[in-house]
Amino acid sequence: MTDRPALAWSGRDDGAGAEHRRLFQAVQPLAQLTQKPDALFIGFASDEGVRRNQGRTGAAEGPTVLRSALGTLALAQSASGKRRTDLVLGDAGDVVVTNRDLVGGHRRLSEAVTATIDEGSLPVVLGGGHEVAYGTYKGLAASARRKNHRGQGRAARIGILNLDAHFDLREADEPTSGTPFSQALADEEWAGTELTYAVVGISEAANTQVLFDAADRARVHYLLDEETHWGNLQAIDKFVEVFTANVDLIYLTLDLDVLPAAVAPGVSAPAALGVDPAIINRIMGRVAASGKLAAFDVAELNPSLDIDGRTAKTAARLIHTVLTWHTPLPE
């Protein structure tokens, strides 16, 4: 399913015993796993969609740098009341988009995501440009859990929660990093199935009226970046609560350009305003703990544009929250 095999992770080793355990010590290449992992990392080494969307390329190197940033993070989380020193994590390696074959990359990624969900693990996809989203969505849509929700003989209602400054609802002749959710909505309409799409962090300065109109036609629920602040926390929590309550399976996608440029400079389109990473962290923790999170990806890390690893470190911290708080789907 992947094109580049997983390599061994590395990090700081403080000694034997679970109390010293770091994330790199919990990860094994998929081929070496002897038990089902709680989560499986899948890299998507692509910036072809960014190139097509006239952005700044370099996100194809994101998966490698994200793994490096994740490896040294501690697993014990006593302050939050959650201790995940027993986490079992796998790494499936990378899907690599070459020769501008984004369609083929999406197909291979979707197959890897479907297999991971059907095996009972959480796929954690490391992008890559935000074109990664269509492959992750397709993988969830094709899964057995989606096709027969809890044995009820009906398709599960998918909810996509996108943490992003952009709607990514563009129409184009070929897939780009700006089209994944218009593609997903079109697929659902064709199949006659139900999809709820919600976005937190939308920038009015980064989306034309055409895109706001497209969002309205698709009945997209969204919060603007200027609405997503600590003084509006009750409304933010309610937004997430209502979204979660009205879907069966959640696909959570984090586009790092939702964060302020000061903490996430290493993206194609840095945010002048952005959303406080602590608020994004809060949202991600709540979604992870909902018991409905079925797929998760991180997009748009461009290491060539990063400063002192800020973006990679912030992304790793947010992924860490999902791994710590994730409650598996019910059997």
255 is in an annotated binding site: yes
H runs (alpha helix) in 72-101: none
218 by Cβ neighbours in 10 Å (0-12 / 13-18 / 19+) ranks as middle
Residue 130 counted as an annotated binding residue: yes
> Would you tell me how many other CB atoms lie within 10 Å of the CB of residue 306?
22
- 164 assigned ligand-binding residue: yes
Give the count of beta carbons closer than 10 Å to the beta carbon of residue 149: 15
Within its chain, how far is the Cα of 109 from the centroid? 13
Is residue 297 a known part of a binding site?
no
3-state secondary structure (DSSP) of residue 28:
strand
CA nearest 116: which of 97, 140, 149?
140
Residues 316 and 64 sit within 8 Å (Cβ to Cβ): no
**Does residue 225 have a known ligand-binding role?**
no
Which residue reads 């059907």 in tokens?
Answer: 118
Residue labelled with tokens 């994590």: 89
CB contact at 8 A, 258 and 271? yes
106 among the known binding-site residues?
Answer: no
Burial class (CB in 10 A: 0-12, 13-18, 19+), 289: middle
Element (H, E) at 236: helix 233-245
Element housing 65 (H / E): helix 62-71
Residue with tokens 């006593």: 78
- 91 close to 9: Cβ distance less than 8 angstroms: yes
Which residues does the annotation place in the binding site for Mn(2+)? 130, 164, 166, 168, 255, 257
Which residues does the annotation place in the binding site? 130, 164, 166, 168, 255, 257
